[in-house]
Amino acid sequence: MTAPTPDNPTSAAGIPPGPAGVPSLPAQTLAAGGSPTVVVGTYPDYAQAQKAVDTLSDNKFPVERTAIIGTDLRLVENVLGRLTVAKSALAGAASGAWFGLFVGLLFGLFSDSSWFAVILVCLLIGAAWGAVFGAIAHAATGGRRDFASRSSIQAGTYSVVTDAEVADQAKSLLVSLNWQASGAQ
């Protein structure tokens, strides 16, 4: 294949460009400035890494040349409680009521009859259908997942990285401001 040109925008791998240009694999992408990045601080949670970058920003550091990278990713699923047919029907009724309210507002705007009555009827119909579908959906699982949960992705550590040209400046700023910076002396 040939290199991309204005006449032939296809990349060397034969990938056509998208709205943002020719896509590339993460390993092919360097930092914004085209230089390798250096870790200037490693933190146990995101809040501390965010605070370190905010501190750099407050001290006029070019934060557009930094990134926060989470490593050692894991999926954490917190169980919120037991899920029954009644709870599923109630949750379905609530979401159906919201949809019914939306439809009722649209019908109410273009109706000659009482807009409040139209909204109320649509809300009740939406809640009833939502409850029916919520109960059916729960019953269809056959008891395989009788609990509600919330999932999140968490990282083990968060590294603040910056371009090599400004890494020493970032490390010295973080150390002088009593920030724990890995590799900074």
Task: List Cβ neighbours of 168 (8 Å cut-off, separation of 6 or more).
Answer: none
Report the pLDDT value the prediction gives residue 6, as an integer from 0 to 100: 54
pLDDT (tens digit per residue) in 81-134: 999 999 999 999 999 999 999 999 999 888 888 888 999 999 999 999 999 999
Which pLDDT value is given to residue 34?
55
